[in-house]
Amino acid sequence: MSYIQCVATFSQVILTSDGRVCFHNGEIVREDYKKIKRINRNLAVAFAGLTIPCEIIIDNTINKFDEDVIDKINVDEFYNKLFLESKNYNKLYFEENQKNLKTQFIIGGLRNNDNLGILTLSVNNEFKSENYFSNTSDNISFASGTSNQLGDSLLGDNLIKLDSTGNSVSLLEIKKVMNDTSRYMATIDNSVNSKIFREIIYKLI
């Protein structure tokens, strides 16, 4: 699988991914693959699951937008088309392979309300797209994607501890929490390595 994370505050969104790519049987193919795609200055997508299908779904989504608007789209606009592309691709994959394809996407950046935020997308066995991780902190929004259930809660627990101090949380502190969480996941999940890729989106004032 993979380990992807996203954290959003009022002023920035940070997305990270590990770098390991594996076959179905667990054989390691690459150790330095960035599983984040920057769409424009206000939007990026992290993905987990089979790498090629995830890339195809994202590319198909990008191609649904006219070239003159791709630099202006936001999280909500990209999510709506990603939802349809993901659902359609998974139907085709099942028809050809007689098995389900699990994909996870985290879209971070500028939303319709001009605030920074996160939307998440996963496709379950009935091919219904759904949010798979809810944001629970008042000041920090977060999401993670992994095949290991511990990874889904670990980032949130660590960020809530940081946020509960009552002090302003710095970008450096958030980076450290995300790095520590990702590196810990690499010690308990063979599909994850300790290589960390990152994209940061800043809110323009």
Report residues of the chain scoring pLDDT below 70: 123-138, 147-149, 152, 163, 165-166, 205
- Quick: pLDDT tens for 58-77: 999 999 999 999 999 999 99
**116: which strand partners?**
110
pLDDT at position 153, please? 80
Using DSSP, how many helices (H) and how many strands (E) does the chain show? 4, 11
Cβ atoms within 10 Å, residue 87:
15
**45: which strand partners?**
37, 107
Contact present, 18 and 158 (Cβ < 8 Å): no
Note the CATH number of domain 3-202. Answer: 3.60.20.10
CA 49, 50, 54: angle at the middle one, nearest 5?
80
The model carries a pTM of 0.90
- Whole-number Å distance between alpha carbons of 196 and 205: 29
Side-by-side strand order, sheet with 197-202: 141-146, 3-8, 12-17, 197-202
- Whole-number Å distance between alpha carbons of 135 and 87: 23
Contact present, 13 and 6 (Cβ < 8 Å): yes
Q: Map out the domains of the chain as residue ranges.
A: 3-202
Cβ atoms within 10 Å, residue 110:
22
pLDDT at position 149, please? 67
- The CA-to-CA distance between both ends of the chain, in Å, stands at 37
pLDDT at position 17, please? 97
- Quick: pLDDT tens for 79-99: 999 999 998 998 888 888 877
Nearest of 138, 142, 172 to residue 158 by alpha carbon: 142
CA–CA distance from 154 to each of 44, 109, 123, 176 (Å)?
22, 22, 22, 14
